[in-house]
Amino acid sequence: MTPLLFTHSRLFAHAGGFGINLNLLDTNLINLVIVIGVLVWFLRGFLGGILERRRQAILADLSDAEDRLKAANAALAKAQGDLAAAQQKAAQILADGKARAQSVRVESEQRTIEEMARLRQDAVADLNAEAARVTDLLRREAARQAIETALATLPGKLDDAAQARLIDQSIQSLGNG
């Protein structure tokens, strides 16, 4: 019965219809199973090793990338800290500069005021000295004119007896002095 079934299925397949060949030896199904089994067994070790090495390489690359990311984050944090410190230092320098400029300005104004006061005092002293010199000059001139006037009018007003009395009084006042 089996050969007849195979024959009919073969005939049916040749006729252009659909048929199933159930002869395992004829269809090479056993050979295919053996070849596929050997390929799976052989390739599992070969491809498994390749895939495992690839997996290890990917894990190493990921670990390296994570390490570089940590180092980059640490460097970024340090750089940000350095930037903040530099900005704080710059702000301090700016504040110190402004304070120094204000101090210099106030000191300069104070020196200018003191110099102006000194110049004013010098001017007042010069003015007082000039006034004293002019006053002294005017007194001398007034005394000279008074003496000239007295000398000019004195000989006509004094007689010999008055002149002798005047000389005696002058000598006495010199003696008492």
- How far is Cα 170 from Cα 158, in angstroms, rounded to an integer? 15
pLDDT of residue 12: 47
Determine the straight-line distance between the first and last CA of the chain, rounded to whole angstroms. Answer: 188
- Per residue of the chain (177 residues), give pLDDT as tens: 444 444 444 444 455 566 666 666 666 777 788 888 888 887 777 777 888 899 999 999 999 999 999 999 999 999 999 999 999 999 999 999 999 999 999 999 999 999 999 999 999 999 999 999 999 988 888 878 877 787 777 667 767 777 778 778 878 877 665
Report the pLDDT value the prediction gives residue 160, as an integer from 0 to 100.
Answer: 75
Residue 154: CB atoms within 10 Å: 13
Task: Tell me what pLDDT residue 111 has.
Answer: 94
The pLDDT of residue 177 is 55
pLDDT at 16: 56
Question: What pLDDT shows up at residue 38?
Answer: 84
What distance lies between CA 78 and its chain's CA centroid?
Answer: 18
Task: Please tell me the predicted confidence (pLDDT) of residue 103.
Answer: 94
pLDDT of residue 20: 67
Amino acid occupying residue 164 = A
pTM for this one? 0.40
